Amino acid sequence: MDANSLLEKILVIFILCTIFCLLYASIALCQYWTAIPPYNTLWPLWSQVLSPLNPATGLYTPIVGSLTSATELPLQPGLTWNPALPYPWLLYNSPVGRRYYDVMFGLNAWPPSSLVDPMTGAPVPLLLPTGYSGLPPTDPAWILNTIPGANNLYATSYPYFSYIGSLSLPLIFNLPPITALNIASYLAMLPVPPVPVPPVLSASAILGY
């Protein structure tokens, strides 16, 4: 074997090793999820509509910074996951705080009881597994099959939210009874045109199809 052939083989091996290392590093650095306070549930970085690219940092960034009962979602449903469970929860706005959709139990007040100390009401953050950020994204088939029904249930449960969303609950409850004389005052308080709730995303929008 001449020196040129040996040099060529070494060069090929070096290039292959470099490519392998770069591929391994990119896979190792893949982040599909990030933990959101105060409960440490996971938010999907793999959905570009729920975690758009921040041009200032070059990172995919969640549209919310926390997930409390008062968090306002600029887009809905949000999606958050306890990795001990097979599938995530879907989050929605409502006139009385955040709601989450569970396949078994429908819409309920956020947070789930498992994330709250029953004695103090304080958050009980999840103990996340090592490497949680690299856990695989939610099965697209589950999203495509689940979100249409969840969105329909949300629309059925809160059909007038777009009309009363701009009124505070204390104001609503403190108003006098509606009569023929004050009906005009009530109508004047409604948004004209009605202020819509944040957009409700389709399954395809969340998946980026």
- pLDDT tens track of the chain, all 209 residues? 555 554 555 444 445 444 433 333 344 358 999 999 999 999 999 999 999 999 999 999 999 999 999 999 999 999 999 999 999 999 999 988 999 999 999 999 999 999 999 999 999 999 999 999 999 999 999 999 999 999 999 999 987 664 444 343 444 444 555 555 555 665 565 555 444 567 899 999 999 98
Q: Note if the pTM is more than 0.75.
A: no
Tell the residue number behind the tokens 């309920």, with chain if given: 108
The count of other CB atoms within 10 Å of the CB of residue 73 is 18
The residue type at 128? L
| Residue 88: C-alpha distances to residues 10, 12, 42, 156 (Å) | 49, 45, 9, 22
Angle made by CA atoms 45, 96, 65, in degrees to the nearest 5: 25
Q: Spell out the domain ranges in the chain.
A: 1-30, 32-157+199-207
39 alpha-carbon distance from chain centroid: 14
What span, in angstroms and rounded, lies between the C-alpha atoms of 126 and 189? 43
